[in-house]
Amino acid sequence: MTVKINGTNTAAAPGVTGSDTDTGLVYGTDQVDISTGGTARARVDSSGRLLLGTTTSRSSAAGEHRLQVENTNTEGLSLSRTSADAGGINVSFIKTRNGAVVQSGDDCGAINWFGDDGTDTNSYLARIVAKVDGTPGSNDMPGRLSFQTTSDGGHTTTERMRIDSSGNVTKPNSSKFSTQITYVNEFKGGGTVMGHATPHLDDGNDFDATNNRFVAPVDGAYYFSWHVNVDMNTGGRSEFHFIFRKNGTSVDGTIGGRAYGEWTGNGWEHIHMSMMMNLSASDYVDVVTGRSNMRVDGGGYGQFTGFLVG
């Protein structure tokens, strides 16, 4: 094949070609393009970045990457292994402190997602980050994975779930609450919505202390537990009823949700009920009394707790 030097040096007529005059190399100032069929397909720019499908480097909050692929459809990057064995292909992230051992907390690689916000492409949507999770040493490299998303109105991520080096899975921002019952030796009539204090635990801020109810932030299955001390103070046979409600309607006739007890004579009895139910976003759950003239003692004896299962 004859190599030709063409003085035009454009994508349509590259400076260096073979017999196909619209396919070859186009030289610029500190950069070189690969052109096929008269169109620039790749560029090595002045910073040594390899750009595929574009001749302009794109930046993000994670920098301008050394390898960039752009396209107008879903055809991006494909990795294949064709050996006749059980092995698969790998993508590896490697971190060293310039040849020295890494330290606990070091970021050893991340997968980032960005979106164009109308200004630039520097706003994070989500991240998965791998970090050192303890003191490393020879053949000893504890690690953790952090799963992060960006809240509405934000542009940087917050950790939503973590898998640590011991395999523990934690979701620090998943909806959960716990609050005390406010009554101390108070008689309550039937249908009374039980009062609760400002929660001492309220990840997600989903407990409405003003209306004494939990409000679901998302669709899902939720677990609830409620307990209290009660006394009818009648000297005879007493019955105790408390009921979970969903959106103001008792659920005890459909999926359970009622605590019931009997007591003969004076004295306190501890009542507990728990259940799991499906909720849609904005559904609320509260607790009401099922009988009149029950003396309720919350304080240090009663709590209402709940959390999102999934």
DSSP string, 55-76: SS---BTTB--SEEE--SSS--
Q: Is residue 195 part of a domain?
A: yes
- 289 and 240 housed in the same domain: yes
3-state class of 299 per DSSP?
helix
Per the model's pLDDT, the better-predicted residue between 296 and 139 turns out to be: 139
Q: Do 164 and 185 belong to one domain?
A: no
74-115 residue pLDDT tens? 999 999 999 999 999 999 999 999 999 999 999 999 999 999
Assess if residue 30 is contained within a domain.
Answer: yes
Question: Does residue 40 lie in a domain region?
Answer: yes
180 and 161 within one domain: no
Residue 150 belongs to some domain of the structure: yes
pLDDT of residue 237: 54
Same domain membership, residue 112 and residue 40: no
Res. 308 pLDDT band, cuts 50 70 90: very high
Decide if 285 contacts 220 (C-beta within 8 A): no
Q: Examine residue 102 and state whether it is found in any structural domain, yes or no.
A: no
User: DSSP per residue over 193-242, as a string?
Assistant: BPPBPSPSEEETS-EETTTTEEE-SSSEEEEEEEEEEEE--SSSEEEEEE
Please determine, for residue 137, whether its predicted confidence score (pLDDT) is greater than 60: yes
Say whether both 121 and 204 belong to one domain: no
Residue pointed to by tokens 């009542």: 271
The DSSP call for residue 300 is G
Please tell me whether residues 60 and 116 are part of one structural domain.
Answer: no
Number of structural domains the chain divides into: 3
Encode pLDDT of 26-72 as tens digits.
999 999 999 999 999 999 999 999 999 999 999 999 999 999 999 99
Give the separation between CA 308 and CA 44, rounded to whole angstroms: 50
Task: Give residue 115's domain range.
Answer: 107-170
Does one domain contain both 300 and 251? yes
Whether 162 is covered by a domain: the verdict is yes
Half-sphere exposure of 108 (CA within 13 A, CB side): 21
Indicate whether 260 belongs to any domain: yes
In a domain, 95, yes or no: no
**CA gap 53, 50 in Å, rounded:** 10
**Residue 218 sits in a domain of what CATH number?**
2.60.120.40
Is there a single domain that holds both residue 60 and residue 146?
no
* Whether this model's pTM surpasses 0.85: no
With beta carbons less than 8 A apart as the criterion, state whether 162 and 144 touch.
yes
Kindly tell me the sign of the dihedral angle through the C-alpha atoms of 87, 91, 96, 102: negative
- Kindly tell me if the per-residue pLDDT of 236 is higher than 60: no
